[in-house]
């Protein structure tokens, strides 16, 4: 007697369930990959922002630490402060010559200006009010947020200083810089702030 083999195959219900399981698994894998990619994007953005702040910190600290406090004047703004200062550029008959870009009598200014739709921090050298050179220090600086400016120059004891007055000799100058940028294609923003404390020269 011959035995007949029956090929039952998959039923429609079994096939539908298998497709549903594979679809769910596929969606889960895609979401996982997207989340991992977004996490790496956020980490990269955060690292890049902090690197930009650190480079700006190095420039500000390198220049302001050379200043005689008498040569420093702070101007308060709504979103950003600016600061005018001079550094030693030479010695004449035993007297220190103060200036900028190796020119006595010139002055530097850290100031935020909007260029091509971006608010950037610049170090600008002036001679009698006329710009001679500029260097971009920080691209994409934030404006005022939650009562904090994007750039602040504040003496350690602000009660001792009125806006526009020179910083007292030996005073510690607090510099705060903040940047903000959109994270990837999401609507959320990543914000980082850096604070520097610089003791002015006597």
- For residue 14, the surrounding DSSP H or E stretch is helix 12-64
Stronger pLDDT, 179 or 5, i.e. the higher one: 179
Q: How far apart are CA 53 and CA 48, in angstroms?
A: 9
Please tell me the predicted confidence (pLDDT) of residue 6: 53
Contact of 194 with 176, CB cutoff 8 Å: yes
Q: What is the pLDDT of residue 109?
A: 96
Average pLDDT over residues 179-200: 72
Chain segment 144-174, per-residue pLDDT in tens: 877 888 999 988 765 555 566 666 555 778 8
Task: Check the CA dihedral 93-96-100-106 and report its sign.
Answer: negative
Separation CA 70–CA 63 (nearest Å)? 15
Task: For residue 44, name the pLDDT band (cuts at 50, 70, 90).
Answer: very low
Q: Are 162 and 170 in contact (CB under 8 A)?
A: no
Q: What average pLDDT does range 36-42 have in this prediction?
A: 49
**Secondary structure, 3-state, 83-111:** EEECEEEEEECCEEEEEECCEECCEEEEE
Tens-digit pLDDT profile for residues 103-129? 999 999 999 999 988 899 999 999 999
Task: Quote the pLDDT of residue 167.
Answer: 61
pTM of the full structure: 0.71
Averaged pLDDT for residues 25-30: 68
Strand partners, 174: 154, 197
CA nearest to 59, candidates 112, 122, 125, 101:
122
- The per-residue pLDDT for range 48-98, each reduced to its tens digit, is 778 888 898 999 999 998 887 777 899 999 999 999 999 999 988 888 899
pLDDT of 183 reads: 57
């Amino acid at each position: 007697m011959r035995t007949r083999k029956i090929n039952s195959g998959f039923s429609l219900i079994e096939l539908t369930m298998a497709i549903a399981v594979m679809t769910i698994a596929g969606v889960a894998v895609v979401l996982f990959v997207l989340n991992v990619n977004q996490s790496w994007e956020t980490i990269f953005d955060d690292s890049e922002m902090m690197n930009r702040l650190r480079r700006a910190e190095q420039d500000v600290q390198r220049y302001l630490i050379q200043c005689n406090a008498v040569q420093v004047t702070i101007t308060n703004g709504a979103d950003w402060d600016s600061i005018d200062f001079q550094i030693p550029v030479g010695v004449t008959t035993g007297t220190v010559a103060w200036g900028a870009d190796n020119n006595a009598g010139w002055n530097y200014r850290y100031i935020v200006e909007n260029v091509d739709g971006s608010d950037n921090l610049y170090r600008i050298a002036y001679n009698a009010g006329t710009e001679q050179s500029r260097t971009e220090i920080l691209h994409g600086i934030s404006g005022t947020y939650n009562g904090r400016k994007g750039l602040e120059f504040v003496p350690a004891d602000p009660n001792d200083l009125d806006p526009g007055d020179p910083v007292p000799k030996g005073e510690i100058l607090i510099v705060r810089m903040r940047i903000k940028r959109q994270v990837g294609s999401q609507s959320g923003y990543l914000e980082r702030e850096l604070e520097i404390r610089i003791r002015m020269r006597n």
